[in-house]
Amino acid sequence: MLATTSIAQIIRERTSVKNGYIDKEVSQDLVLSLLKDAVWAPNHKLREPWRFIFVSGERREAFVEAILPCHEKSKHESVRNKFQNVPAFLVVVIEDDPRQKQAEENFAAASCMIQNLQLLAWEQDLGMVWKTPQHIRDPLFREALNVQPGEKIIGVLNIGYFDKEIIAQKVRKRIGPAEKMTAF
C-alpha cells in the first residue's frame, strides 16, 4: 500500500523556508511542472492574471545586480548576502487592473495560485517563502525585469531544497478559528 499525505497534513506542515537552503539546483522544468497544477486556483472569469519570471543558476547574480540599485550603496553588501544562498527565485507578476474590484480579484486569484504552488512544492521537499520587498515597486527593478505598465509584481518567491532539521525546529502555532468567529 502506498503511503499518502493528506491535504490537511501538508497544509499544517508547510512553512515558509527563509534560510537553510542546501546547495542543490532547482530546475525550471520542476517549477513549471508544479505551476501546471498550481494555476488551477480559482480565478474570476478565468482571467489567469499571472505570469512568471524564473531565475536560477548563473542568472542569480544578474538578478541580484538588478536589485542593488534600488537600495542605498551602504546596504548593498547586506542585500547581496540575503540572496546569495537562495537557489532560485520566481517573480510573480499580475495584471494590475485600474478597476478596484478586478484588481482585488486578480490579487486574490494569484494569492490562491501561490498557496497552491507552495503546497505542491512542499510535497516535493522543496521550500519557499513569499517575499514582498520594497524593490518590487522600484521602477529600476521593474525595468530590469521588463515589467510593463499595467502589470504589478506581487512578490518574489525564494525557492530551494532545505535542511529539514533546521525547519523541524520551527515552532508554529495558530489561533483557533472559534476565537476569530462571530455569528450574525
Instruction: Determine contact, residues 41/109, Cβ cutoff 8 Å.
Output: yes
What pLDDT is stored for residue 52 in this prediction?
A: 98
CA dihedral 116, 119, 121, 124 (to 10 degrees): -140
Instruction: Determine contact, residues 90/156, Cβ cutoff 8 Å.
Output: yes
- Could you read off the pLDDT of 104-125 as tens digits, one per residue? 999 999 999 999 999 999 999 9
- Could you read off the pLDDT of 32-64 as tens digits, one per residue? 999 999 999 999 889 999 999 999 999 999 999
155 belongs to a structural domain: yes
72 belongs to a structural domain: yes
The total domain count for the chain is 1
Looking at per-residue pLDDT, the higher value among 166 and 27 belongs to: 27
19 belongs to a structural domain: no
107 belongs to a structural domain: yes
106 belongs to a structural domain: yes
SS3 117: helix
Looking at per-residue pLDDT, the higher value among 5 and 143 belongs to: 143
- Single pTM value for the model: 0.93
* Single-letter amino acid, residue 163: D
The domain that contains 113 carries what CATH number?
3.40.109.10
| pLDDT surpassing 70 at residue 2 | no
Query: Sorting pLDDT into bands at 50, 70 and 90, what band is 3?
Result: low
16 belongs to a structural domain: no
36 belongs to a structural domain: no
Query: Sorting pLDDT into bands at 50, 70 and 90, what band is 171?
Result: confident
| pLDDT surpassing 90 at residue 84 | no
Domain span holding position 114: 41-161
What pLDDT is stored for residue 1 in this prediction?
A: 52
135 belongs to a structural domain: yes
Rounded CA separation 25/22 (Å): 9
